[in-house]
Structure 1
Amino acid sequence: MSVRAEPAPLRSRTLERAATALLERALEGLDGGALEVKLPGGAVRRFGSGAPVRLEIHDAAFFRRLATRGKLGLGESYTAGEWDTDDLVALFELLVRNVDRAAARHSGMRRLLELRPRLHRRNGLRRSRRNIAYHYDLGNELFALMLDDTMTYSCGVFERPEATLAEAQRAKFDRLCRLLELDAADHVLEIGCGWGGFARYAAERHGCRVTGITISSEQAALARERTRGLPVEILEQDYRSVDGAFTKIVSVEMVEAIGADQLGTFFATIDRVLAPGGRAAVQSILVPEQRWDRYRRTPDWIERYIFPGCLIPSLAALTQAAARHSRLGIYSVDELGEHYAETLRRWRSNFHAQIEDVRRLGYDRRFERTWDFYLAFCEAAFRTRALRDAQLLLARPGPAG
């Protein structure tokens, strides 16, 4: 006897009803604000109390993505244009503040959303180069529209509210130089030198020699231009193949790109090439310890669509990797996370202000929405301390200097 297949429209409506119920269960008891959701049929649901953030769902595909793609579905649906909000950052802040409470109330729902595991791919030399090219070789022109004159793509330090983005980045460089106790006699290795901002600052301000390495061809080309005439050498080279001895080593928000499997190799490399009595400064985005295990097991939208191969470490993961694979210890932790939200707000503002120029470079609407989602989510994550950022001082035990 043959069994007649259920009509596709009926399956779709059933899934939409189930997903809507799931959404309402997840948002019940929303605390710290209000969310007003307009459904595709025009009905409005309100959760929480106070002045609401408004979310409008244009397409029922939004629910299907959430039901079948879990955490990835929210971002995929946004880039597809299936929903909008009047304040993307405020929406993420509200959701991030409530996510743990919602997960505790609905443990079965959380297990359902975590069924899809994070892909585990080792970052070998060739894969690392492909991953970096995917993001950093988008074009120097694009990053120039979003960043400031220092061409620095990491957290700045706003020493006063009216500081410009460029001033905040130079303040960050200054902190790193003071942490390393740089002077003209030093030879500095910068692991992940970007477009040469720190190398240029250190060479100009302190007269030291700098060797910067990157595996982005676009970054290497511009970094060489920006440091011409200074005692700076820019190499297109993987950190694992570095040789020589350096009195100081710095790495700013590069370690997140290598994956958990390579943390030991990263610290072993620093230990291998750091001269006796030398210092190393590592600035890293950090996941709070309570979220680390869950974060590294489950899929992440930013890893999938923005930084392939990345895995943000926790402070404990860095400390343990350094202890197990090197003679290095962490001797200070300088928290910068409060400054990252403002840094990201400035980048996103620049991105929107220059959007016509972004389009003239050939980037389409999906790219715009992808980067808007990425920058807004990260800003909210730092505002709510769901992410941290810190400068770490590393050295070997024994006399300094």
Structure 2
Amino acid sequence: MSLSTSHSPSPSSPPARATAAADPGRRGPGTVRPPRASRLRATVAERLVRHALAGLPLRVSLAGAEQLGLGGPLLDIRDPATFFRRIGDDGLIGFGESYMAGEWDSPDLVGVLTVLADHVATLIPPSLQRLRGLWAPRRPAGQLGTQEGARDNISHHYDLSNELFALFLDDTLSYSAALFRGFPAEHALLPAAQHRKIDRLLDLAGVGPGTALLEIGTGWGELAIRAAARGARVLSVTLSGEQQELARRRIRDAGCEDRVEVRLCDYRDVDGQYDAIVSVEMIEAVGAEFWPVYFRTLDRRLAPGGKIALQAITMPDDRMRAARKTYTWIQKYIFPGGLLPSVEAVEEVTAAHTALRIERRDDFGTHYAETLRLWRERFTERAADVDALGFDATFRRMWTFYLAYSEAGFRSGYLHVQQMLLTRQEPAR
């Protein structure tokens, strides 16, 4: 999974790494730094935020002394002064940091975030949106999707701890949208729903006996195992050492070791040609600057007559274009360097740089909302186990916010997830 939307922090805020680098005994971002906004910036932010909240279907409590909003899920701002200063400091990223610091909360976090996602295009006045280039900071150069940057970006998230992911994922260790038969679903139904998603992708790509399959983005190996069970020969590449180690073990335990190779390798370094290519929610980590390289690589690696099945989280084209050069809360804390494409961007890049075209596209965003709900509930239920792994309280609030924030994006319809079939459009003779 990879997610990025248009929330903008201060360029002076360094990326936080939720790892054990600083303190091997406790893993997490630690105490969120105090806001540094000037009185003027804080005052302007407060006026803008108050005006926005007053017109939203929320119940906003300011330290129990003042109420705003039109009614709806409760947004309990416990420390209004610091809350407004954070937003004056870092724009909407301060909103997420304020939650991490415990300065606001909600008994219905997803409900609050869904309302905000529903109104994301109008929260900032149009006059200020037009000046976005002046106030919105840019991503750190180190987060760009170069080969070195990509390794660091992937390691930041996926090398956190295999044990952490196992706490809230199902037994397939699939970290992408599942495909359910109906809602609401239970966590026990996730393995079948994940297999249904994987099987649809393999069907799209025409994977069967003897297929030479390239998987870009291994995860923990479930797709490779199911492809091998169909008789395919699989090369799966990842930049996560943690994932490679566990995926190899799972593949060996499944008896597929002779048909699957998991290589620690950048997608740009793969050679050969393949009958089918599958990539699940990996394009989001590529970065817009490298989308042409990514799709040219797919085009070069696809054998004549082959098929590509991509699963991708997408966002509206206008929001993607507004966000592509800014730095976001998700990029700072969760997925460095990531950017969600739009369907239009995929169509434009493939048309301009490759012979590939989208032949089929299926959207199942509501299923992602349900998947995220189940992950979030399991993560919350297993808070003591997360703590036992050494992750601090700020990390737990950060991760809760990330899962709820993502779920809200899909519930509001702001975000979508697509399964796309790409084939090569051969030139007319």
Q: Structure 1-normalised TM-score?
A: 0.90
Partner of 1:193: helix, strand, or coil? Answer: coil
Tell me which residue corresponds to 2:315: 287
Distance 1:13 1:315 in 2: 42
Amino acid at match of 1:119: R
Residue of structure 1 in register with 2:303 after alignment: 275
Query: What is the distance in 2 between the residues matched to 1:70 and 1:14?
Result: 14
Residue 243 of structure 2 is aligned with which of 215, 219, 225?
219
Distance 1:12 1:37 in 2: 24
Provide Cα deviations, 1:278-317, integer angstroms capped at 9, x if missing partner: 0011111001123121121332110111000111111111
Local SS of the residue matching 1:283: strand
Distance 1:116 1:101, change over 3 A: closer
The equivalent residue for 1:20 is: 46
Q: Do residues 99 (structure 1) and 127 (structure 2) align?
A: no
Which residue in the other structure is 2:5 paired with?
none
Larger relative contact order (CA 8 Å, sep ≥ 6): 2
Whether 1:316 aligns to 2:341 is no
1:170 maps to: 195
2:372 to 344, 354, 360: 344
CA RMSD of aligned residues (A): 1.9
Q: Distance in 2 between matches of 1:364 and 1:332?
A: 44
**2:293 pairs with 265, 268, 273, which one?**
265
Higher helix share: 1
More deviation, 326-335/109-118: 109-118
Rate the CA distance shift 1:92–1:275 in 2: closer, same or farther, 3 A.
same
- In the other structure, the counterpart of 1:8 is none
Q: What is aligned with 1:179? A: 204
Amino acid aligned to 2:86: R
SS in 2 for 1:333: strand
CA distance in structure 1 between the aligned counterparts of 2:111 and 2:365, rounded to whole angstroms: 18
Give the secondary-structure state (helix, strand or coil) at the position aligned to 1:275: strand
Query: What is the aligned partner in structure 2 of residue 357 from structure 1?
Result: 385
Structure 1 residues 235 and 16: CA distance shift in structure 2, 3 A: closer
Give the AA of the match of 2:160.
L
- Where does the alignment leave 5 or more consecutive residues of structure 1 unmatched? 1-10
Structure 1 residue 191 corresponds to structure 2 residue 216: yes
Q: Give the % identical residues.
A: 45
Residues 213 and 15 of structure 1, relative CA distance in 2, 3 Å threshold: closer
TM superposition shift of 1:102:
3.6
Structure 1 residues 61, 86: CA separation in 2 closer, same or farther (over 3 Å shift)? same
Question: For the Cα contact (< 8 Å) 2:347–2:358, is it kept in 1?
Answer: yes
**Alpha-carbon distance between aligned partners in 1 of 2:317 and 2:369, rounded to the nearest angstrom:** 20
Q: Distance in 2 between matches of 1:48 and 1:248?
A: 52
Once residues 148 and 75 of structure 2 are traced to their aligned partners in structure 1, the CA distance between those partners, rounded to angstroms, is 44
CA distance in 2, matches of 1:309, 1:99: 21
Q: Which residue of 1 aligns with 2:399?
A: 371
Q: Secondary structure at the match of 1:128?
A: helix
Task: Give the distance between the partners of 1:338 and 1:47, measured in 2 at CA.
Answer: 27
For each residue in 1:137-162, what CA deviation from the matched residue of structure 2 results, as whole angstroms up to 9, or x when unmatched? Answer: 00100000011111111111012334
Secondary structure, counterpart of 1:24 in structure 2: helix
CA distance, structure 2, for counterparts of residue 337 and residue 77 of structure 1? 28
Q: How far apart are residue 15 of structure 1 and its match?
A: 6.1
* 1:73-222 correspondence to structure 2 within 5 Å: 73-103=94-124, 106-110=125-129, 115-119=135-139, 121=141, 122-161=144-183, 162=185, 164-204=189-229, 206-222=230-246
C-alpha deviation, 1:319, in angstroms: 1.3
Larger CA deviation: 54-63 vs 258-267: 54-63
SS of the residue corresponding to residue 150 of structure 2 reads helix
Structure 2: runs of 5+ lacking an equivalent: 1-36
Q: 1:343/1:195 Cα in 2 relative to 1: closer, same or farther (>3 Å)?
A: same
Contact 2:350 2:357 in 1 (8 A): yes
AA of the residue aligned to 2:98: S
Provide the rounded CA distance (Å) in 2 between the counterparts of 1:89 and 1:28: 19
Structure 1: distance between partners of 2:165 and 2:216: 20
Q: Aligned partners of 2:321, 2:312: CA distance in 1, in Å?
A: 18
Three-state SS of the structure 1 residue aligned to 2:310 is: strand
Q: Is the 8 A contact 1:72 1:299 kept in 2?
A: no
Deviations, residues 162-212 of structure 1 (Å, cap 9, x unaligned): 4611111111011111111221020100000111010011112x1211111
1:326 pairs, out of 351, 354, 360, with: 354
SS of residue paired to 1:373: helix
1:11-38 deviation line (CA, Å, top 9, x unaligned): 97776555433322122322xx332222
Q: CA deviation at 1:362?
A: 0.3
> Looking at CA atoms only, which structure, 1 or 2, has the larger radius of gyration?
1
**Matching residue's letter, 2:295:** F
Tell me the distance in 2 between the aligned counterparts of 1:285 and 1:64.
Answer: 32
Q: Quick one: which of 65, 69, 75 aligns to 2:86?
A: 65
Q: 1:198-257: CA deviations, max 9, x gaps?
A: 0011112x1211111001000000110111121111101000000011110000000100
- Show CA shifts across 1:346-368 (max 9, x none): 11111111111100000001100
* Distance (Å, rounded) in 2 between the aligned partners of 1:38 and 1:252: 42
Aligned residues: 381
